[in-house]
Amino acid sequence: MTSRYESLTRTELAVLIPELLLCGHLIDRSGMAHVLGALGREGMTAVAIEEWQLASPVYTRRMRRALGIDGDGVAEIFKGFQLDIGAPPQFMDFRYRVSDHDHGEFHLDHCGALADVEPMGTEFVVSMCHDIEDPTFDATALATNPQAQVRPVHRPPRVPADRTPVCAWTVVIDPAHEPPTPHERAHLVAGSEAAAVALAPIEPEGEGLHDYSGPLLNDLRFGDFSRAALVRIADEVALQHHLLTLGYRTAVAARTDPDTTLDIVGKQFAGIAGLTAERLRNALGLGDDAAALAKVLRLHPAFNPAPYVDIDVSTETSGGAQTVQLRIGRGCGAVDDGAWAALLTPDRLEPLNALVRAVNPHFHAVVREATDCALTIEIARAATPFRESTEVAITRFSTGAAFAFTDRGIPLPLTVR
């Protein structure tokens, strides 16, 4: 199988992709609370800067290649933003304007990240909107043009407190601009298996857009893409999850001992695994039985894309009760990288339990076999429901946990060719 997302219809994929983008953004809501507890606000800020600096140039280049985004102007930078887990549609409501190849601007009509952080106080707002955004916007833009600079017109803390748009930025490309220096640990993510994994090219068959080589659109309506393009986008967005988490793990490991790093990354995995499973189940209108769980497992970004994460999911019936069997192969890129699949061991099933209980709180995971080649787990129903894990509850703090996407109609081109 080249992609597990091939099992979905074009309509289902168009619903799924915004969910994957949003859940990728919420990885930080899951992870940063635990970094804050271990390293304080300044340490959390440093981890956030580093993880995005390490990951976003890598996955932006991948998405550009996948969708034929060949230019190096402001419009192409904005196309990258639209397909980035750092800017999920509507939740981070970027509005773009392009003046010419080298000049543009954007503002945010709504910023879900700000809505999450403002109640925490001015210091946290400054950390996010100043300390983190300055280096990470440039890191993302350099994947399109190293001479691009993203600079604020205005940004929070908001004065007055209800100011809209919440922030505004210019993007200028100038040969005189000095490209940002790559991070000293950039090679650890850029050289990962995730960065190099080969995915099937988009075959231009059927209806819809097969790439994003045309004009920049004010919004992306994913239903306008072809089914083949949507499959590839879904795989690339799932890979963004892994690349960001590898950046997160690298940044945490540089500041803590190995046991603390493993504990923090495991808690991050548990929080986002559960919330993502819940959103996927709801978005696709699934039930809460074994069949629904099997589908969620096959589609969950923690276990995708298929060429990177080796899993097999099946259902079995015994004595009238259905169970789900999950086999995680140990000879795959995700395990080699130390990504999420590598964190599941016979002694550490908390992230998987958080995931399966988001489908049904009665589910629980039991190891059936553990070898050097694979970990095989059975997921069955317990008589009484389990409480939601602390890690999922922390992630649910974000307004993104209950965010609902809306139909904005036909997208409009912002550039004329």
Owner of token pair 């970094």: 35
HSE (side-chain half, CA atoms, 13 Å) at 315: 15
**pLDDT for res 1:** 60
Cα(179)–Cα(233) distance, integer angstroms: 28
> Residue range 270-294: average pLDDT?
98
Question: The tokens of 149 are what?
Answer: 């600079």
The per-residue DSSP string of 178-205 comes to PPPPPPTTHHHHHTSHHHH---PPPP--
Instruction: Flag whether pLDDT at 318 surpasses 80.
Output: no
Rounded distance, CA 192 to CA 173, Å?
30
Q: Which is it for strands 374-381 and 363-370: parallel, antiparallel or unpaired?
A: antiparallel
Q: Looking at residue 353, what is its pLDDT?
A: 98
The CB-based long-range contact list for 283-286 (8 Å cut-off, 24+ gap) reads 283/15, 283/16, 283/19, 284/12, 284/15, 284/16, 286/359
Instruction: Report the chain's terminal Cα–Cα distance, integer Å.
Output: 38
pLDDT digits (tens, 9 = 90+) for 339-362: 999 999 999 999 999 999 999 999
pLDDT interval class at 321 (50, 70, 90) = confident
Q: What are phi and psi of 27, to 5 degrees?
A: -55, -40
Measured CA to CA, the distance from residue 71 to residue 122 in angstroms comes to 38
Mean pLDDT confidence for 145-171: 95
Q: What percent of the chain has pLDDT over 90?
A: 95
**The predicted structure's pLDDT at residue 170:** 98
Rounded Cα gap, residues 127 and 45, in angstroms = 6
Indicate if the pLDDT at residue 73 is higher than 90.
Answer: yes
Q: Flag whether pLDDT at 413 surpasses 60.
A: yes
> Strand 321-329's sheet: what is its strand order?
311-318, 321-329, 374-381, 363-370
The tokens describing 63, both together, are 């998405």
* 139-157 pLDDT, tens digit each: 999 999 999 999 999 999 9
* Residue partners of 38: CB distance under 8 A and separation at least 6: 256, 260, 264
Residue that has been written with the tokens 């280096």 in this structure? 135
- pLDDT value for 67: 98
Q: What is the mean pLDDT of residues 204-219?
A: 96
What pLDDT does residue 319 have? 73
**Parallel, antiparallel, or unpaired: how do β-strands 92-100 and 148-154 relate?**
unpaired
User: Nearest 5°: phi and psi at 368?
Assistant: -100, -35
| Cα separation, 329 vs 243, whole angstroms | 20
Note whether 173 and 74 are within 8 A (CB).
Answer: yes
Dist. CA 176–CA 174, nearest whole Å: 5
Average the pLDDT over 69-97 and give the result.
97
β-bridge partners, 111: 92
As given in the structure block, the two tokens for residue 5 are: 């997302």
Contact 297, 285 (CB under 8 A): no
Mean pLDDT of the chain: 96
Q: How far is CA 355 from CA 16, 191, 287, 387, in A?
A: 17, 29, 15, 13
- Residue pair 129/155 in contact (Cβ under 8 Å)? The answer is yes
Q: Give the three-state DSSP class for 360.
A: coil
Q: What is the pLDDT of residue 101?
A: 96
Asked if the model's pLDDT at residue 415 lies above 70, the reply is no
Tell me the average pLDDT across 98-116.
96
d(CA 32, CA 52) in angstroms, rounded, equals 13
Question: How sure is the predictor about 180, in pLDDT bands with cuts at 50, 70 and 90?
Answer: confident
Residue 233 backbone phi and psi in degrees, to 5: -60, -45
94 token code pair: 């970027």
* pLDDT, mean of residues 293-313: 98
**What is d(CA 348, CA 345) in angstroms, rounded to the nearest whole number?**
5
CA atoms of 335 and 331, how far apart (whole Å): 7
User: Under a CB-based contact definition with an 8 Å cutoff, are residues 104 and 98 in contact?
Assistant: yes
pTM score, whole prediction: 0.97
Q: What is the pLDDT of residue 417?
A: 46
Distance between CA atoms of 389 and 349, rounded to whole angstroms?
12
CA-to-CA distance for 78 and 144, rounded, in angstroms?
Answer: 10
Helix or strand run (H / E) with residue 78: helix 74-82
Using CA atoms in the order 112, 116, 122, 125, what is the torsion angle rounded to 10 degrees? Answer: -50
